[in-house]
Every structure is written in C-alpha cells, then in structure tokens.
Structure 1
Amino acid sequence: MIVLGLETSCDETAAAVVDCDRRVLAQKLLSQYDEHRPYGGVVPEIAARAHLDHLDGLVAEALRVAGVRLTDLDAVAATGGPGLIGGVIVGVMTAKALALASGRPFVAVNHLEAHALTARLTDAVSFPYLLLLVSGGHCQFLEVRGVGAYRRLGTTIDDAAGECFDKTAKMMGLGHPGGPALERAAAEGDPDRFALPRPMRGRPGCDVSFSGLKTATRQVLDTLPPGPLSARDLADLAAGVQGAVADVLEERTGRAMTRMDQDGTAGSAPTLVVAGGVAANQTLRARLNALCAVRGWAFVAPPLGLCTDNAAMVAWAGLERLRLGLTDPLDFRPRPRWPLDPDAPKRTGAGVKA
C-alpha cells in the first residue's frame, strides 16, 4: 500500500508519501514562520492563503521524489480536523479532488490520531500504549487501544503546554515560534531563580493547567527593571518556565502510568509515547525517559522532524485506517474540533476546548 498524505491544519503546509513497510518515500514541508513572525503568532487567514498558494506544488514535488503517479496510490489522506478551519478546508478539498481524479479512496485523518500513531510509523509500537499528546493546542493523556480507539485519562482545563511556551516567549520578546526560542534561551539559565507555580501537581487525576503559569510569568516580568531583559534574566526566566512545565508533565504522566497499571490496561510491555510539537523539547524528553526507566516502562518519542506537524504522520494514519477498510465519502465535512475520545467529559477553558 502507498498513501499520499496532506497536512494543512495550522501553519505547516506539507505533503508526503508513505508505504506499508513504514518507509517515508517523500516528505515535502513548507513552514510559514516568516509570514506570521511580524504578528507574534499564527494568523488563521494568512495561514489558509499560504496553504492555498503552496500545497499543489508540494504535492507534485512529493510524488516526483517518491517516483509514483497518482494512479499508483492506494489512497489520498488529509487532515480533516481539528485545526484552523480555513487551512483544514484547503487540505481536504485538495485531497478530495486528487482522490476523485485518480479514482482512489479518500481518507479523512484526525490530526490528533496522526500524532498518536506516529510511533507506529517510526518504532512499530504495539497497542496498547499511553500517549502524552503535547502541542501548542493540545495537552492530553490518552490510552491508545487501537486505531480509532482511545480513552482520555486527562487533559488541560485551560491552556496547552505549547501555548504556555509560546505566550511566555512572546512576553519575554523571544519572537515566533516561541517554544523553540524559549528552549534555546533556557539552555544557560537557572530554573530555580524565580518562584513559579506548578499548577495541578499533586492533585488527584491527570488533568493539567497552564494559564496560572503564564500569569505568574507576567508578574515576574513586572518586578524586573523596565526596558529590555538582560541576558541573565531572560535565560533564568525561560529556564524557570520550562522547568515548571516539565515538573507538571512528569508528575501527571506518573499518575497516568499508575492508573493504567492499576486498571490492567498497560499491557505486557507498558510503553509511554510522547508526541506533538512540544515532544521535541529535550528537557521534557529527558525527564520522561528517566521516569520510564524508574517505572520499568519503555519510552518512545518520534524523531524531532516528526514531532511537529507533518504530512508523513497523516499519510501513515491514513494507511492504518485504509488497512481496516476505513475510508470516507467525498461529502466529508472538515471539522475545527474532533476529539479522539468523544465520550470523555468536556473540559472548557481560556484557550482550549477538548
């Protein structure tokens, strides 16, 4: 099987071709950092227009590099949600047109499921496993039972970890994208200099919260001398924010692991998978890897290039669904929200609905 995947849910325009032997035959990606940098964050209308301008060319280039024609494909997959709806529409409509023109099935992929299944592309991880999905828009603990089968153990009650990184980086003048900039600034900092909170740590359950950490960061900035931050202040505050997020996610992950151990759902080879853009953060990866070593769990994190939004994960999720006969009609409607566990109780907060 060979599947073409398209990703347009936020500010990455991407096309990739993947086969059933877990080979990425081609991966073409265009980041929109320059378009959004003047605004300090992603502007949905600009993102949608950029997808429209570049997606066709990326598809043609991905097919050329993979050495396949449209008629050689077994399906065309695209992110069908959740995401910025303008961009999602561009990807879905392009995929539908390609599927119709080639007579191949169309597969609408849940963007969160694409992240969830990336570890099966890169490391052939078997079901079940615990997933920490951590990105700019999402922060969830999920028991991954199979394709399309998820149980949410915890989620954010307000903002996601990546959103916290991006907003605090913007407060500090680190620019866009904020998460990687904050990680670079934190490399030489003292994480203990500023007293920042660890929201939800120690409370029952696996939910997380990061809006209070953003507020605390703003309050610290208000106590510092006016004007540009010194290099030392910048490094220490960035390290403090990064350390607080890592502390919270490490403790909450431990609770999710305990829950699966107690429920008997961890399986014979318990595995923690971390996915999403924030999974590229080296401090977080090191913390979670150490936690797994202590608990006797395997730890899997995709290569850095497959943590952030990409089309290879979409193509792979489409291939996994295709193998089970799960395709979609051409009247599929793109979705701005699409929970992996629709039966989980709603959590509504300042920045995220999950």
Structure 2
Amino acid sequence: MCAYVGVDTSCYTTSVACVDECGIVSDLRTVLSVKQGERGLRQSDGLFQHIRNLERLVPEMFEKLDVGAVRGVCVSARPRPNEDSYMPVFLAGKACAASMAAALRVPLLDASHQEGHVRAALYGNEFLMGQPFLGMHISGGTTEVFLVDEAFHITLLSGTEDLHAGQFVDRIGVAMGLRFPCGKQLEALAGEFDPATGGVKLPAIVHNGVCSFSGVETRAQALIDDGIKHGEIAYAAYDCMARTFGKMLLYAMDKTGIRRALLAGGVASSPLLRALLRERVRKQKTEAEIFFGESALSSDNAVGTALLCKDRLTASPEGGTTRCKADMF
C-alpha cells in the first residue's frame, strides 16, 4: 500500500506524519520547550529545537514504515499560502523533507502551514471537499477567516488587527502563573467556574469582520490584578472568544452567502470553546453550520501535510483520484 509523508516545523511543535489510503499510519509530534514565565520562543531557538527533534522523530517514524511504499514527501514551507509568507522555523522542515525525498527518490511537494491545518480538519469532514466553504484558523500565530474554493485555494476574508486568539489565551494564562502554552490549563480553570452564578464579562470586539483582543487582554489583566478568581476570568475569556468568533463567522457568511464553516488550529481544539461557539451560533437562529476537525488534529501536526501529499499525487487530470500504482498489480 502506498504511503505519503508530511513534515511540519511550526513555531511551537515539531511534527512528522505518514498516511496511506486507509488513514493515518503515523503521527509523531514534540512541543518545543519554553521556559516558565516566558510567552514564546525566538525563531532561532525554535529552529534549533526542531533540528534536534527531527533527529529523533524521523527515525521513529520509519521504524514502522515500509520505505519502499513511500510515494512522496510534503512539507509545510511557509505559514500561509502567500508568496511573501515566511518564518525561519519552517527551514528545518524544508531541509529535512528535501533530504528524505532525495534519499527515497520520490517527489518533494510543499504547502503552507495553514493549508495543512485545514486539510487535517477535513479528516472526517471530507464531505466538505470539492465545494466552497468558509475556514477559520485560530491559533497562537493566526486568527483568520477565509474562503476555501473547490480547488482548495484559500482567499483571506478577515482577521485580527492586533493579538491572535492563542496569544490572548497565553498572555492571560502566564499572568495567572500557568506554563506556556496555556490553553489546556486555562480551560481546566474555566471548568471550575459555574456560569449560572453570573460572573464577569469580557467584551467581544469585532468591526466589519475584523476582531481585536488587545483591549480585552488589558481588561482581563486588570481583573487578575483586582483579585477576581482565576476560574471566573478563564471562563470569561472563552466566552469572549466564542462571541468574537461567532460575530466574525456570521459576518463572513452574510458577505459570501456560504453557510458552512470549518474551524482549525490549536485554539479550535478546546471542547469548551466548541460548545460555547455552537451555542452562540444556534442562538442567532441562522442556517449556519459549524464543523470542527478531530481535537487531536486541530493543534499543530503534519497529518494534514501528509494528506495534501496524498491528494496531490493521486489526483487525476479530470479532477478525480487515481489508485496508487503499487496497488494496481
């Protein structure tokens, strides 16, 4: 059976993966190390950690993989599908993938980190493929709403004018003494709060589809300084994000006429955010349909990149798919 390899070296995770016609064969990741109290990594530090991590992850992947079955390697070469999109951390993945493809004598393909996120979210939601839908990528480095057309081309519609959603979460979490990245810990704190008791509210700031989290973060920091319970503030942060993303999505739906949206990115992996956002959209009494990828495939991974490799190498000129040549004999 043919296999397809993906490599992704994002700002905070080193990932390698392999898929075949039946599904995911391997999904290996290592989160980069950030010192307690810090809110991120320098690109040079991230690049160094990626190199060290790939030295371990790649051999581990190939231990359980038939090397002769590999038909291609795809790498996340840039953050977004734009020519001028660039971050040094992706160079580690590019070098690794190029070496693998050359050694295996198979095609080397490239994609953007964002395309990989969307394709990973489509795993289990394949019914959306081949038709236009709205995408939303919410993570530490991206907060964007975009149109995905029939050919999987991405067109940006709106985003943030300052902080990204993940930055908002991490800055609040670090201020509470949590370890970066703070998403899971902050959500656990939010789970300790009973919203039926009321609690503080953070504003959801969206103008013409573009959001802002800078002022909201300042307000959250003030609540922390005032001694408001951390669980109450954490819940308010997730409630704020749900209302913010709901406004952004409904604005994009009104502009495009497309009522289906797929959410991807690490922030979208949160069960609490998913529940709050679905409830928010439901209350609007629209025909909007909100879809999420598997939680495990919402955070940074190389599965989406591997799936893009399979999609591209098995696509027929007529727009369908072709069987792997190794399976035809």
- TM-score bracket, normalised by the shorter chain, equals 0.7 to 0.9
CA-based RMSD of the aligned residues comes to 2.3
Alpha-carbon deviations, 1:253-300, whole Å to 9, x = none?
Answer: 222222222xxxx2xxx4221100001112221133345654334432
- Conserved 8 A contact 2:117-2:298: yes
Q: What secondary structure is seen at the aligned counterpart in 1 of 2:148? A: strand
Residue correspondence of structure 1 range 50-129 to structure 2 within 5 A: 50-65=49-64, 67-69=65-67, 71-82=68-79, 85-124=87-126, 125-126=128-129, 127-129=131-133
Residue correspondence of structure 1 range 297-336 to structure 2 within 5 A: 297-323=288-314
Per the alignment, residue 295 of structure 1 pairs with 286
2:237 maps to 1:238: no
The offset of 1:94, in angstroms, is 0.7
The offset of 1:196, in angstroms, is 2.5
2:135 maps to 1:134: no
Per the alignment, residue 322 of structure 2 pairs with none
Q: Cα gap change, 1:16/1:195 in structure 2, threshold over 3 Å: closer, same or farther?
A: closer
* AA aligned opposite 1:53: R
Per the alignment, residue 5 of structure 1 pairs with 6
Per the alignment, residue 326 of structure 2 pairs with none
For structure 2, the 5+ residue unaligned runs are 81-85, 318-329
TM-score, normalising length from structure 1?
A: 0.79
- Conserved 8 A contact 1:254-1:291: no
* Distance of 1:78 and 1:52 partners within structure 2: 15
For structure 1, the 5+ residue unaligned runs are 225-231, 327-354
* Distance of 2:315 and 2:209 partners within structure 1: 31
Per the alignment, residue 255 of structure 2 pairs with 259
Per the alignment, residue 331 of structure 1 pairs with none
Per the alignment, residue 218 of structure 1 pairs with 221
The offset of 1:217, in angstroms, is 1.3
- Conserved 8 A contact 1:165-1:178: yes
Per the alignment, residue 197 of structure 1 pairs with 203
2:267 maps to 1:278: yes
* AA aligned opposite 2:34: H
The offset of 1:47, in angstroms, is 2.4
Q: 1:40 aligns with which of 25, 38, 41?
A: 38
* AA aligned opposite 1:301: F
* Distance of 2:204 and 2:235 partners within structure 1: 14
Per the alignment, residue 174 of structure 2 pairs with 170
Q: Cα gap change, 1:283/1:250 in structure 2, threshold over 3 Å: closer, same or farther?
A: farther
Q: What secondary structure is seen at the aligned counterpart in 2 of 1:29? A: strand
The offset of 1:40, in angstroms, is 2.6
The offset of 1:323, in angstroms, is 4.1
* AA aligned opposite 2:79: P
Alpha-carbon deviations, 1:68-108, whole Å to 9, x = none?
Answer: 20x42111111101298343111100101111122111111
Q: Cα gap change, 1:195/1:26 in structure 2, threshold over 3 Å: closer, same or farther?
A: closer
Q: What secondary structure is seen at the aligned counterpart in 1 of 2:89? A: helix
The offset of 1:148, in angstroms, is 4.7
- Conserved 8 A contact 2:119-2:305: no
Q: Cα gap change, 1:291/1:256 in structure 2, threshold over 3 Å: closer, same or farther?
A: farther
2:172 maps to 1:183: no
* Distance of 1:243 and 1:9 partners within structure 2: 27
* Distance of 1:100 and 1:162 partners within structure 2: 36
Q: Cα gap change, 1:212/1:292 in structure 2, threshold over 3 Å: closer, same or farther?
A: closer
The offset of 1:303, in angstroms, is 1.2
TM-score, normalising length from structure 2?
A: 0.85
* Distance of 1:179 and 1:161 partners within structure 2: 10
* Distance of 1:190 and 1:198 partners within structure 2: 20
* Distance of 1:46 and 1:120 partners within structure 2: 32
Q: Cα gap change, 1:234/1:288 in structure 2, threshold over 3 Å: closer, same or farther?
A: closer
